Structure 1
Amino acid sequence: MKNLYSLKLCLLFIFLSVFLYGQEDKKVNAKIENEIVENQIKLKAVVTNNTPIYKELNYLLVSIKKTSGGNLSNNQQSGKFSINPNEVKILSEININYEKNSALKAFLYIKDEETQKLITKDSLEINHDLFRRKVSKVEEDVVFELKGLTIDETKSKVGKDFYDLFYIQYSQQPDKSNSAITVSELPGRGTNGQINIQMDDKIVYSFMTNPSEDYLKDQVTNTFKYIKEFNAKKNLIKNEFIY
């Protein structure tokens, strides 16, 4: 009787494992594929929709290269895409010059188009030891290397004009935010749209579009104001947890 009970218990665990594995597999998966050919690394952002639902999503692919001399360079690609049930789709490809003793980190993020929530992500590291510093964690390295990252998701000429004005000033700032800044655009009524400034998946400022250059310059000033306030609040919260 005891052996029969143990057999039933084992069968139950096997059934639950198979069931949970099947449930876990039915989701959207992100994958960074890489191939080294001669003096280049080819990165390929691939997404697989294992669900029975058609989805509209956003992606962001970021690569950071560090040379043996300590120089950093980054490349980013982003965009909106749709994917059918059980479809595998190549979103983007990046070719990067690869020298001996250089290091590479790459990150792929997939977000829901409507909710902007992160669905899945993947990362890749080559020669990651070269990124290490004496008193830093890998996560802190990533934050440092992504410092000053801006993402352009505008759709109209007005939106692009604003992004260019903002980026020119932001790139000249000596102290940039540790958070990536996304400038996105939503369609509005008539010819007007809405520009959103996002940091850490939060909208810190938004305004309606207007082609006037003076208006856009005023919005750039306002954007810097709200970015500064967001960073100040973020640092205050962070310091509250330091004992």
Structure 2
Amino acid sequence: MQAKNTHTILIILAVVFTNCGFSQVYNTQVAAKIDMQQYGDVIQITGSAINKTSSSQSLRYILSVIKNNSSNSNNSNNKQRGRFVLDLGEKKNLSSTTINSKDKDRIIILLLVYDENDKLLGMERMVINGTEEDLKLEDAENEQKESLRNTSPDASEKEADGVVLRGVVIEETKTKPGRDFYKMFYSLYAANNVDGDEIVTVKEVLAINNNTKIEIFVATEKVVEFFIRPQDEYLKTMSEISIKRVYWFLQKIKQDKNLKKYY
């Protein structure tokens, strides 16, 4: 977005908490980039990707625009997907969408870029009309980056080329019961300070007889699967079971990485 337009919207880079321990580093091989331009009352959002490697890459992307209405708790999620190839050193625009700059809802813009094996390589996240919590996340990220520069030259050099992400939970639900489950699950995730090294995805998919089911992935591994029922008690029980399985799987990944590093 041009500099003269920066005062019209609040954009917060909320790349969550950084920690160089065993976290996955993104944007080192393929960088995801969100560009914004304002034309009158319309903001145009363009997602792009940059190949930082010396070979061509076969990739896919998801560009999500998630709108949170604080007054009635309604959420909308507009997604654009596609596959593409990047030559070495190439930057390519992937998809564009527009929003109204007068909209006062909190809007999250998320671009994810995966390789052909569904490994997440690039990510960028922006928030428009961010909350106080978004500001805290930005401050936490800046403090952690400064700490890395002062304590570990190798880590800060590594981070300069990429982004370290922790505690990311992505929602891909379709129905109200699905969204209700996600809210219960994420509430437990936050309350228990899970803060996992891998991205957790809560996905709702179509099942038999027009029913839907929840699938929860840690990175690319499916760790939970069950059919949705609209009863609150059932969703509460399944969220408690799910958070335990997700936490166990995240711990297993961490232990495996520790063993690999030791040997």
Question: TM (normalized to structure 2)?
Answer: 0.50
Root mean square deviation, CA, Å: 4.4
Contact 2:32 2:48 in 1 (8 A): yes
**Correspondence 1:226 to 2:206:** no
Q: Secondary structure at the match of 2:229?
A: coil
Q: Unpaired runs of 5+ in structure 2?
A: 1-29, 50-59, 66-76, 85-91, 101-108, 126-140
Q: Is the 8 A contact 1:195 1:209 kept in 2?
A: yes
Deviation, 1:227, is 1.0
TM-score by length of 1: 0.54
After TM superposition, the structure 1 = structure 2 runs for residues 1-243 of structure 1, keeping only pairs within 5 Å, are 32=33, 34=35, 44-46=46-48, 59-60=62-63, 79-81=79-81, 89-92=94-97, 108-111=111-114, 117-118=118-119, 121=122, 131-132=145-146, 133=148, 134-135=151-152, 136-137=155-156, 138-139=158-159, 142-143=163-164, 146-243=165-262
Deviation at 1:214, TM superposition (A): 1.3
Compare CA radii of gyration and give the structure with the larger one: 1
Amino acid at match of 2:244: K
Question: Equivalent pairs: percent with the same residue?
Answer: 25
Tell me by how many angstroms 1:111 deviates: 4.5
Give CA-to-partner distance per residue, 1:90-114, whole Å, 9 cap, x none.
245799xxxxxxxxxx9842358xx
- Which stretches in structure 1 are left out of the alignment for 5+ residues? 1-28, 48-56, 63-76, 96-105
Per-residue CA shift, 1:28-86, capped at 9, x if unaligned?
Answer: x986254688xxx9863147xxxxxxxxx651579xxxxxxxxxxxxxx87243589xx
Which residue identity lines up with residue 46 of structure 2 in the other structure? K
| 1:153 and 1:185 in contact (8 A); partners too | yes
Counterparts of 1:193 and 1:205, CA distance in 2? 14
- Relative to 1, partners in 2 of residues 1:181 and 1:156: Cα closer, same or farther, differing over 3 Å? same
Q: How many residues align?
A: 172
Cα distance in 1 between the residues matched to 2:245 and 2:214:
14
